[in-house]
């Protein structure tokens, strides 16, 4: 029905396209009462936009951006190329070298704007993450085990998880697993029998996910071997670009060169076939400031980086961009923000906004550097983060909740993680639908209940059309909940008739969620 495009959201940090002397300028005036979401995937501006901002060039800067916007009045803006944008408070001024960028009327609601734009410009490709990622936690032990986690340490960590009463899930192996950074071969020093370790973890009920980066140690054998073959990203003066990341300062592969891409893709396929690795956590964050120097430019680099997961549905990306359709893997937004109460509020808002911009499997995590001094963090922040994580598409756990010293908080954390399985089946259903329809998994209330006064509601959201989620985002056990029209049933069976605004108290610090009597199973359960 719709013409397909070959490009989707250009998640661009340093793009080779320079908007110098833009050939086309357009002005988009806001309609009465109209609200807009877009441009910033995470950490850029509160959404919907409520304050003017100065000119921003989407081809420049560090933030995760996209040339895509949707409005509460059924309009959208989309471009296959980055543009510059200014928001005056009552209009958008857009400059582009690729053509005039216009606001397209797709209907009367946010949902209509989103779906029409998706199906016309970047339709779903029928792919989605593995259901197993949705039903069990993903444990990242980097904070506890460090950059070079050994075979013994990883197996002991898995045993700690099970001994503490937590469910088996996916175990992430930190990036120092390689014999030499950039070799993509397991270190014999760290792992006596890498394939045997993977089998042992499988036997315990865990899946294994390797952290993969594009980096190559500047003083290692891989760098010396390939330096003269133009395998690495180089600056205009022909010196190799050196990026700072968790492993120090390193060169990195230029994936826009076909022979380099094929080399790395072949290595990843071999890791799966030779060692039984289930999937990968792709992290190229440290390389972002230098991607503009890649042979094909930043946009092409991120496209090829995203394609490394082709054929593997058990992957996460910390930085990514779509290629020929909706993003079909887990997008792990790592917020560069102190791990505090404000982090939780931003995480909830950014996660829902990302779902409106073509990232239907978005989760939010803190950067490990922000967790370095755990003793200074209020234990309830950990609890609230786990609660929020438990209703994300994938439950990522980047610290060891079983080590929390407050017994009440520790008990609540364990109950929350084990309760996640109750939503797993519904997530599988939502993902199955999303890969066909492009519907977001987590939905802004304005998306589900248009023109009912929810445009400014950024601390509640819908899980599909069935569950209203009202996360606790501070130290209190109660909060104000805004119920849409209909009957909403909590975990105890208590009913709330909307529209209603009232204070609700969480039972035993559990996640506050309410099932729609119309779209849920409450009648069948006899509540």
> Do 199 and 304 fall within a single domain?
yes
Give the separation between CA 265 and CA 95, rounded to whole angstroms: 37
Read off the tokens for 274. Answer: 């030779």
Give the separation between CA 482 and CA 470, rounded to whole angstroms: 9
Final residue before a domain boundary, out of 431, 463, 487: 431
> Do 427 and 452 fall within a single domain?
no
C-alpha to C-alpha distances, 369 to 198, 211, 291, nearest whole angstrom: 28, 17, 23
Instruction: Indicate whether 1 belongs to any domain.
Output: no
Read off the pLDDT of each residue in 23-29 and give the average, rounded to a whole number: 93
Read off the pLDDT of each residue in 332-348 and give the average, rounded to a whole number: 87
Instruction: Indicate whether 461 belongs to any domain.
Output: yes
Give the separation between CA 217 and CA 491, rounded to whole angstroms: 52
Q: For 241-273, write each residue's pLDDT tens digit.
A: 999 998 999 999 999 999 999 999 999 999 999
* Model confidence at 4: pLDDT above 60: no
> Do 163 and 52 fall within a single domain?
no
Q: Which residue has the higher pLDDT, 525 or 135?
A: 135
Q: For 193-248, write each residue's pLDDT tens digit.
A: 999 999 999 999 999 999 999 999 998 999 999 988 999 999 999 999 999 998 99
Report the percent of the chain where pLDDT is more than 90: 61
Final residue before a domain boundary, out of 67, 87, 121: 121
* Residue range(s) defining the domain that contains residue 501: 434-517
* Model confidence at 180: pLDDT above 70: yes
Q: For 67-91, write each residue's pLDDT tens digit.
A: 899 999 999 999 988 899 999 999 9
Asked whether the beta carbons of 103 and 38 are under 8 A apart, the reply is no
Helices (H), 378-500: 379-389, 407-419, 421-437, 445-448
Strand, coil or helix: 468: strand
**Of the candidate ranges 148-152, 199-203, 328-332, 476-480, the one whose mean pLDDT is the lowest:** 328-332
Instruction: Indicate whether 410 belongs to any domain.
Output: yes
> Do 347 and 442 fall within a single domain?
no
Q: For 430-467, write each residue's pLDDT tens digit.
A: 988 888 898 999 999 999 999 999 999 999 999 999 99
* Model confidence at 105: pLDDT above 60: yes
Instruction: Indicate whether 378 belongs to any domain.
Output: yes
The reported pLDDT for the residue numbered 204 is 98
> Do 422 and 441 fall within a single domain?
no
The reported pLDDT for the residue numbered 519 is 77
| pTM of the predicted model as reported, rounded to 2 decimal places | 0.88
Report the percent of the chain where pLDDT is more than 70: 90
> Do 299 and 349 fall within a single domain?
yes
| Residue corresponding to tokens 């786990």 | 386
C-alpha to C-alpha distances, 7 to 10, 42, 123, 359, nearest whole angstrom: 8, 20, 10, 14
Strand, coil or helix: 504: strand
366: CB partners within 8 A, 6+ apart: 334, 335, 337, 339, 343, 385, 398
Based on the structure, what is the number of domains in the chain? 3
DSSP 244-265: EETTEEEEEB-TTSHHHHHHHH
The reported pLDDT for the residue numbered 326 is 64
> Do 318 and 424 fall within a single domain?
yes
> Do 284 and 403 fall within a single domain?
yes
Instruction: Label residue 324 by pLDDT band (50, 70, 90).
Output: very low
Query: Nearest CA to 33 among 22, 48, 18, 20?
Result: 48
Read off the tokens for 296. Answer: 């094909």
- What is the CATH classification number for the domain harbouring 368? 3.20.20.80
* Model confidence at 524: pLDDT above 70: no
C-alpha to C-alpha distances, 130 to 63, 134, 257, 453, 507, nearest whole angstrom: 28, 7, 30, 36, 32
Give the separation between CA 320 and CA 327, rounded to whole angstroms: 9
> Do 95 and 144 fall within a single domain?
no
Final residue before a domain boundary, out of 61, 92, 121: 121
Read off the pLDDT of each residue in 188-195 and give the average, rounded to a whole number: 95
Instruction: Label residue 373 by pLDDT band (50, 70, 90).
Output: low
Give the separation between CA 231 and CA 253, rounded to whole angstroms: 6
Instruction: Indicate whether 222 belongs to any domain.
Output: no
Instruction: Label residue 62 by pLDDT band (50, 70, 90).
Output: low
What is the β-pairing status of strands 215-217 and 248-252? antiparallel
Instruction: Label residue 158 by pLDDT band (50, 70, 90).
Output: very high
> Do 64 and 112 fall within a single domain?
yes
Instruction: Indicate whether 448 belongs to any domain.
Output: yes
Instruction: Indicate whether 452 belongs to any domain.
Output: yes
Asked whether the beta carbons of 418 and 439 are under 8 A apart, the reply is no
Report the 10 Å Cβ neighbour count for 364. 25
Give the separation between CA 153 and CA 19, rounded to whole angstroms: 50
Asked whether the beta carbons of 485 and 452 are under 8 A apart, the reply is yes
Select the highest-mean-pLDDT range: 19-28, 373-382, 413-422, 450-459.
450-459
> Do 335 and 378 fall within a single domain?
yes
* Model confidence at 8: pLDDT above 80: no
* Model confidence at 175: pLDDT above 90: yes
Task: Determine the number of helices (DSSP H) and then strands (DSSP E) in the chain.
Answer: 14, 25
> Do 297 and 401 fall within a single domain?
yes
Instruction: Indicate whether 425 belongs to any domain.
Output: yes
């Amino acid at each position: 029905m719709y013409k397909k495009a070959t490009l989707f959201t250009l998640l661009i940090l340093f793009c080779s396209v320079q908007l110098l002397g833009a050939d086309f300028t357009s002005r988009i005036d806001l309609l009465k009462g109209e609200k807009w979401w877009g441009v910033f995937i995470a950490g850029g501006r509160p959404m919907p936009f409520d304050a003017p901002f100065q000119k921003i060039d989407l081809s420049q800067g560090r933030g995760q951006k996209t040339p895509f916007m949707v409005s509460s009045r059924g309009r959208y803006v989309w471009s296959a190329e980055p543009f510059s944008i200014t928001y005056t408070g009552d209009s958008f001024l857009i400059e582009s070298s690729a053509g005039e960028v216009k606001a397209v009327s797709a209907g009367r609601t946010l949902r209509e704007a989103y779906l029409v734009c998706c199906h016309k410009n970047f339709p779903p490709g029928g792919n989605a993450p593995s259901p197993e990622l949705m039903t069990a936690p993903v444990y990242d032990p980097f904070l506890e085990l460090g950059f070079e986690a050994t075979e013994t340490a990883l197996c002991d960590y898995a045993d700690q998880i099970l001994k503490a009463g937590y469910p088996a899930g996916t175990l992430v192996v930190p990036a120092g697993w390689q014999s030499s950074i950039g070799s993509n071969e397991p270190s014999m020093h760290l792992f006596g029998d890498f394939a045997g370790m993977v089998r042992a973890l499988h036997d315990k009920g865990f899946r294994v996910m390797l952290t993969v980066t594009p980096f190559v140690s500047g003083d290692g054998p891989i760098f010396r071997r390939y330096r003269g073959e133009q395998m690495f990203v180089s600056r205009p003066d022909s010196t190799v670009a050196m990026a700072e990341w968790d492993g120090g300062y390193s060169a990195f592969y230029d994936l826009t060169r076909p022979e380099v891409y094929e080399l790395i893709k072949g290595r990843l396929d071999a890791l799966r076939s030779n060692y039984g690795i289930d999937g990968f956590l792709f992290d190229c964050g440290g390389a972002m400031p230098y991607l503009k120097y890649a042979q094909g430019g930043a946009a092409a680099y991120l496209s090829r980086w995203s394609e490394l997961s082709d054929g593997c549905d058990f992957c996460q990306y910390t930085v990514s961009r779509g290629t020929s359709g909706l993003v079909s893997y887990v997008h792990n937004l790592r917020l560069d923000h102190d791990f505090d109460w404000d982090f939780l509020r931003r995480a909830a808002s950014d996660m829902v906004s990302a779902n409106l911009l073509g990232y239907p499997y978005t989760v939010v995590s803190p950067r490990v550097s922000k967790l370095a001094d755990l003793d200074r963090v209020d234990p309830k922040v950990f609890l609230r983060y786990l609660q929020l994580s438990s209703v994300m598409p994938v439950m990522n756990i980047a610290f060891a909740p079983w080590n929390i010293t407050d017994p009440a908080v520790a008990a609540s954390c364990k109950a929350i993680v084990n309760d996640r399985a109750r939503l797993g089946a519904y997530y599988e259903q939502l993902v199955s639908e999303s890969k066909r329809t492009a519907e977001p998994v987590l939905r802004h209330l304005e998306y589900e209940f248009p023109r009912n006064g929810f445009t400014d509601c950024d601390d509640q959201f819908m899980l599909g059309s069935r569950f209203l989620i009202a996360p606790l985002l501070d130290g209190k056990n109660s909060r104000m909940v805004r119920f849409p029209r209909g009957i909403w049933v909590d975990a105890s069976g208590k009913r709330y008739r909307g529209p209603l605004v009232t204070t609700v108290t969480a039972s035993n610090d559990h996640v506050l969620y309410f099932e729609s009597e119309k779209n849920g199973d409450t009648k069948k359960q006899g509540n």
